[in-house]
A and B are shown apart, each in its own frame.
Chain A
Amino acid sequence: MSYGIEHTAHKDYTGAKIGMWLFLFTEFFLFFGPVLLYTIYRFRYHAAFTASSHELDLAIGSINTAILLTSSLTMAVSISALQRDRTKLSLWMLAATFVLGVVFLINKYFEWTEKFSHGMYPGGEALAGGPPGQGVFYGLYFFLTGLHGLHVLAGITAIGVLAFMVLKKKVSAADHVRLENAGLYWHLVDVVWIYLFPIFYLVR
């Protein structure tokens, strides 16, 4: 006599979403600390912060903002498309999101290296000779945009993995929570940038 044990796949949609939201809250606090530092130092070194903000390229900052906002749209459309069982559209939108994320990082690379070439990096000669407020501004700028850049990198990696899973039908209209959670992460990265943009580029 034999007994068969039947395993039914256990999927907890709400639980998966709540888990992701909890993680996003920890991410929020990760960025909140340095932003608090920024606020305090902005009052102390008002003039130096305004002057340093003018040295950043507002055009690249604005373009990168538009790029991330657009990538959030393509991500949201990708999820909506997958839920409607339009796998092909969903994959194209994921590809667009991925490319936009890469373009964002390329722009950031050029922006950083331009500053580096002028000796403007933490510990660099240009900042060491400048007013203390300038050093603090650029310290926070490189830390926060660097931390954000790492999140963009993690985000595009997740999007790449998810695209593969959609292609292999491991993520589909019937089971789409993983794509939704990757989307939540990507939108959080966008929200963080929405605040970093005025913090560094617009306080002039």
Chain B
Amino acid sequence: MYENGEKHYIARYTTLVMVWVSLIGLTWLTVKISGIGFGTFSIIAPFLIASIKAFLVVDYFMHPLFRKEG
């Protein structure tokens, strides 16, 4: 056991699966819109989508120390 008998956050399976569905959906979207060629946005869009995906992985899967629940 850890000191102070700290309570550790335990992720819910359903939350994890929902995050995964979003990640796959965003991947599908970013591949779908690649090469359409709508100017500057076609350069920004993939990195915008990548950042949303990275946020989801960090926030829900890695669960930073400062996050207490959810």
Which residues of A does B touch, CB under 8 Å?
10-14, 17-18, 21, 58, 62, 65-66, 69-70, 72-73, 75-77, 79-80, 83-84, 174-177, 183-184, 187-188, 190-191, 194-195, 197-198, 201-204
Contacts and interface: CB of A to CB of B under 8 A. Distances in A.
Contacts, number: 97
Q: Taking chain A's interface residues, is the majority helix, strand, or loop, or is none over half, making it mixed?
A: helix
A59 B23 CA distance: 17
B44 to A, nearest CB: 10
Contacts of B43: 203
Given A77-B16, A80-B11, A194-B54, A202 B62 contact: no
Q: Which 6 A-B pairs have CB atoms at the shortest separation, nearest pair first?
A: A198-B46, A73-B20, A13-B2, A202-B46, A202-B34, A80-B11
Q: How large is the interface on B (under 10, 10 to 19, 20 to 34, 35 or more residues)?
A: 20 to 34
Given A194-B50, A194-B57, A17 B65 contact: yes
A13 B8 contact: yes
B35 interface: yes
B53 A194 contact: yes
Contacts of A174: 1
B33 to A, nearest CB: 9
